[in-house]
Structure 1
Amino acid sequence: IKKKVAEMKLKFSHMEGTSNCSDMDTHCVFDAAVKIPFRLNQNQALLTFEDEEVAQRLIKKGRHTVNLDNNKADVRVMPVPLDMGVKFELHVTISGRKINVSNIPELPIPEDWMRDKLELNFYKTQQGGGGEIENVTYDNESRRAVITFLTPGASNSFGGCPKYPFFANGRCYTLFVSSHADLHLKNCQPYCGVSKKTILLKGIQEVEEDEESVQDMIEIHFQKPSNGGGEIENIKYVSKGAAYVCFEEDTGNAI
Structure 2
Amino acid sequence: MSTEDFSLMDGQSLGCLDHVLREINKYKTQHEALLAEQKILRDGIDNNNNFAKQFQKRSEGRKTSIEDEKKKRTMIIQKEKKCRAVQNENTKLQVEILKVKEELHSLDQRNTSLKKQTEISTAVPERRVVFRGNTKEGAHAVSFDVNPRIVYPMEGGTALITFEEEDVAQKILNLKDHLVQLGDCTITVQAKPIQFLVPSYVEMETQVCSRRILVSNLPKEEPEDRVLDKLYIHFSRKKNGGGEVEDRDMLHDSGTVVITFVDDNIAKCLSDKQDHEVDFGKKKYKVKVTPFLNGEISQMKICNSVCMRTVLLTGIPDIMDKDNLQDNMEIHFQKMANGGGEVEGIMYNPPGHTTLALFDEDSPKDS
TM-score by length of 2: 0.38
1:101–1:24 CA distance, 2 compared to 1 (3 A):
closer
Secondary structure of the structure 1 residue equivalent to 2:318: coil
Q: Which amino acid aligns with 1:204?
A: I
Unaligned runs of 5+ in 1: 1-22, 103-125, 130-141, 162-177
Equivalent position of 2:341 in the other structure: 230
Secondary structure of the structure 1 residue equivalent to 2:311: strand
Q: Which amino acid aligns with 1:25?
A: S
How big is the shift at 1:203?
Answer: 1.0
- Whole-angstrom CA distance in 2 between matches of 1:101 and 1:160: 21
1:147–1:216 CA distance, 2 compared to 1 (3 A):
closer
- Structure number with greater Rg is 2
Find 1:55's aligned residue among 169, 172, 176.
Answer: 169
Q: Which structure dedicates a bigger proportion of its chain to strand?
A: 1
The answer as to whether partners of 1:32 and 1:87 remain within 8 angstroms in 2 is no
Unaligned runs of 5+ in 2: 1-118, 126-143, 213-237, 242-261, 279-288
Secondary structure of the structure 2 residue equivalent to 1:33: coil
1:198–1:158 CA distance, 2 compared to 1 (3 A):
closer
Equivalent position of 2:90 in the other structure: none
Q: CA RMSD in A?
A: 4.3
- Whole-angstrom CA distance in 1 between matches of 2:311 and 2:277: 52
1:87–1:249 CA distance, 2 compared to 1 (3 A):
farther
- Whole-angstrom CA distance in 1 between matches of 2:264 and 2:172: 62
Equivalent position of 1:247 in the other structure: 359
The answer as to whether partners of 2:210 and 2:264 remain within 8 angstroms in 1 is yes
Alignment of 1:1-255 (within 5 A): 25=121, 27-28=123-124, 32-84=146-198, 144-145=264-265, 155-156=272-273, 159=276, 180-182=291-293, 190-207=302-319, 209-240=320-351, 241-251=353-363
Q: Which structure dedicates a bigger proportion of its chain to helix?
A: 2
The answer as to whether partners of 1:67 and 1:73 remain within 8 angstroms in 2 is yes
Q: Which amino acid aligns with 1:58?
A: I
The answer as to whether partners of 1:49 and 1:233 remain within 8 angstroms in 2 is yes
The answer as to whether partners of 1:54 and 1:229 remain within 8 angstroms in 2 is yes
Secondary structure of the structure 1 residue equivalent to 2:124: strand
TM-score by length of 1: 0.52
1:147–1:218 CA distance, 2 compared to 1 (3 A):
closer
How big is the shift at 1:80?
Answer: 1.1
The answer as to whether partners of 1:55 and 1:196 remain within 8 angstroms in 2 is yes
The answer as to whether partners of 2:153 and 2:354 remain within 8 angstroms in 1 is yes
Sequence identity, in percent? 27
- Whole-angstrom CA distance in 2 between matches of 1:239 and 1:143: 51
Q: Deviations over 1:6-51 (max 9, x none)?
A: xxxxxxxxxxxxxxxxx79354377543411222111111100000
Paired residues in the alignment total: 172
Q: Which amino acid aligns with 2:185?
A: N
